[in-house]
């Protein structure tokens, strides 16, 4: 069971997310918070697996709350945080990434995509809405190192290169499977192997690497 805390200053938003998450067999909402300071107390008391975090809240904002959550629960593994916002702005994305957030989604994300994101983040993966991924790529390609080690690309199979190119387009595993006529499970296996071979931490960094290496 994936234990989730919802942090948002709007009661109706919290109620909507609560209904979506509690409607599944593998998730349970174990706490809610209406401001940035309250979520710290709720997280400390419930020890969730995932926190859905609004950006703009009273007290401290969601970015600072994320930073404190990710830094303040040693020796236990801190919960993973998904930043949820109606504002698709660069400053939130970059600040959230630096604060340790594992996911970035817009509040108009479809129910199924939200549930997939929670499951992925709980499993140790990073997720981002396609628009957020594109912004991250544009930022890090523009400001990051121009030269990366392209030698590991030679270790990829032809199919793995195909999958990496589709990842770089911002496609989901299901969309990649449909495009390449393979199962979603097979796509997940390819993604894991790609990250291992290239020495990359997560899917977002795979997108950045694909662009900086010249693959796409």
Q: What is the pLDDT of residues 147-173, one digit of tens each?
A: 568 888 999 999 999 999 998 887 778
Q: Exposed, middle or buried: residue 188 (CB in 10 Å: 0-12, 13-18, 19+)?
A: middle
Contact 125, 95 (CB under 8 A): no
Residue with tokens 């495009």: 179
Residue by residue, DSSP assigns 143-199 as HS-S----GGGGGS-HHHHHHHHHHHTT--HHHHHHHHT--HHHHHHHHHHHHHHHT
Contact 56, 9 (CB under 8 A): yes
The pLDDT value given to residue 43: 95
Rounded CA-CA distance 84/106 in Å is 5
The pLDDT value given to residue 134: 62
Instruction: Find the range with the poorest average confidence among 35-39, 81-85, 185-189.
Output: 81-85
pTM for this structure? 0.67
Phi then psi for residue 2, to 5 deg, are: -85, 120
pLDDT band at 211 (very low <50, low <70, confident <90, very high): confident
Rounded CA-CA distance 128/204 in Å is 8
- Average pLDDT, integer, range 85-90: 66
Contact 99, 66 (CB under 8 A): yes
Contact 190, 165 (CB under 8 A): no
State the pairing for strand pair 2-7/27-33.
parallel
207: closest CA among 182, 172, 177? Answer: 172
End-to-end CA distance of the chain: 39
CB neighbours of residue 143 within 10 Å: 8
């Amino acid at each position: 069971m994936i234990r989730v805390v919802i942090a948002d200053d709007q009661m109706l938003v919290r109620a909507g997310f609560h209904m979506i998450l509690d409607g599944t067999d593998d998730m349970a909402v174990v706490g809610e918070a209406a401001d940035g300071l309250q979520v710290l107390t709720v997280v400390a008391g419930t020890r969730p697996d995932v926190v859905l975090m609004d950006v703009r809240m009273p007290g401290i904002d969601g970015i600072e709350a994320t930073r404190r959550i990710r830094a303040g629960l040693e020796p236990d593994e801190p919960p993973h945080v998904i930043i949820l916002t109606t504002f698709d702005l660069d400053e939130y994305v970059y600040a959230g990434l630096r604060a340790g957030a594992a996911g970035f989604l817009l509040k108009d994300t479809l129910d199924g995509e939200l549930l997939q994101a929670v499951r992925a983040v709980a499993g140790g993966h990073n997720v981002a809405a396609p628009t957020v991924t594109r912004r991250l790529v544009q930022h890090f390609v523009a400001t990051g190192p121009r030269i990366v080690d392209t030698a590991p690309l030679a270790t990829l199979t032809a199919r793995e290169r195909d999958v990496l190119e589709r990842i770089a387009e911002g496609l989901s595993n299901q969309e990649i499977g449909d495009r390449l006529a393979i199962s979603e499970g097979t796509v997940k296996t390819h993604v894991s192997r790609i990250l291992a071979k290239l020495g990359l931490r997560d899917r977002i960094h795979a997108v950045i690497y694909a662009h900086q290496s010249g693959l796409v």
